[in-house]
Structures are given as structure tokens and as C-alpha cells.
Amino acid sequence: MKPSAANAAKKSVAEDAQQVLRAIELIELGARMQVLETELTLPRERMIRLYHELKGKAPPRGLLPSSADWYMTWLANIHSSLFYNAYLFMRHDAGETHLDALTKAYRVYVEHCRTAGAERLLDLTRAWTLVRFFGADIVQMAPCSRCRGKFVAYKYDLCDGMVCGACCPPPRAGKTSKAAAARAAETPEIA
């Protein structure tokens, strides 16, 4: 009977170490405390200490995103669709667990943004919230009628003939003051 108790104690220490490693990975990717508390079984105080140790400051306070509207704007939709397609691949085709699929898909998204030179719009907390919106049947993936890519859409929207924001960007797309400043910085002035 004693060997089984020893195995149980070893298993809990190993599970605890695994939880700490997952917490470190999530914090480094930018997860908020609400994400850590939902996904991990570590005590809140311990996660706060980990956060403080890794980031050098207390975790940010405030509410998490609670509306699917953010994911529907044209550029955010492209970014969230890119992430969620990677998540689906990791989850279903690669056979990863939910948390592993989330972190790996987010890393793929970050790497894609870095190599494309694009601004990263989606943070880990928004990515996690998006996955939860899919789980709650608030949103769905809908195919674009032009490129056949799958994009995030409201669950009960009529999506026949939908054209994505990548195939048909809005008229003012990329014409923000931030984009104009970036273009001005790239183009040398002629004296």
C-alpha cells in the first residue's frame, strides 16, 4: 500500500511542475490572470507570484473581452481567422490538447505576423476568448465565396456568398493615420 501512496505523491509533484511550466509559457505569451485561473489548477497566489517574477510587475486588472464584435471588423477578422484555422489544425489534425493547441497556434500566428511584417492585432487573451466563443456557439467559420478560405462569422449570419475582408477590403482599409505615418517613414523625402 505504501508504494501506491508514493506514486501518487510523485504524480502530484510532476503534475504540479507541469502546471507551473504551462503557467510560465502562458504568462510569457501574454495571458491575463483570468486565462491562467481558468486553464490551470495552481492557486491564484502562486500564479500571481509567478507573473510578478516573470514580468517584474503585478498582473493587469480589468475585464476580458466580452463581445464577438471585435473579431468581425475586417482586419481583426483576418487575424482571428488565421489564428483559429491554425488552432483547428493543431486540435484536430495534430491531435493536440486544447491548451497545447492554443499555445502552438498562437505561436504560429505570432511567427506569421513577424515574417510578414504585420502588426500583431490578436493577443493571447483575445485568442483564448475566441476559442471560448466557438465553444459557446457564438461564432462559426464561414467560407469565402472567392478564395474559399474559412473566416470567423457570427453563428446565425447568412453566409452564402460571403466575401472575406482579404478578398474585398473596405474602401478606407490601410488609410489610417498610423499607416500613413509608416508609409512616410519608408519613403525618403526629396529635397
- pLDDT tens per residue, range 50-67: 999 999 999 988 888 788
> Using CA atoms, how far apart are residues 169 and 131, in angstroms rounded to an integer?
25
DSSP structure class, residue 61: P
Using one digit for the tens of pLDDT, what is the confidence trace for 111-158? 999 999 999 999 999 999 999 999 999 999 999 999 999 999 999 888
Percentage of residues in the chain having pLDDT higher than 70: 84
> Residue 179: is its pLDDT beyond 70?
no
pLDDT of residue 191: 41
99 and 10, same structural domain?
A: no
The number of distinct structural domains making up the chain is 2
CB 121 within 8 A of CB 79: yes
CB 84 within 8 A of CB 141: yes
Percentage of residues in the chain having pLDDT higher than 90: 69
What's the domain range around 46?
A: 2-55
Instruction: State yes or no: 159 annotated in a binding site.
Output: no
177 and 108, same structural domain?
A: yes
Please count the other Cβ atoms lying within 10 Å of the Cβ belonging to residue 53.
10
Instruction: State yes or no: 164 annotated in a binding site.
Output: yes
Average pLDDT, the chain: 87
Q: Assess if residue 173 is contained within a domain.
A: yes
pTM of the full predicted structure? Answer: 0.82
Instruction: State yes or no: 113 annotated in a binding site.
Output: no
Q: Assess if residue 46 is contained within a domain.
A: yes
pLDDT of residue 169: 86
> Using CA atoms, how far apart are residues 46 and 53, in angstroms rounded to an integer?
10
pLDDT of residue 132: 96
96 and 7, same structural domain?
A: no
Residue 1: enclosing H or E segment and its boundaries? none
Instruction: State yes or no: 167 annotated in a binding site.
Output: yes
What is the CA 56 to chain-centroid distance, rounded? 23
CB 84 within 8 A of CB 57: no
CB 141 within 8 A of CB 151: yes
Angle between helices 98-116 and 2-29 (to 10 degrees): 30
CB 152 within 8 A of CB 170: no
DSSP structure class, residue 30: T
Q: Assess if residue 96 is contained within a domain.
A: yes
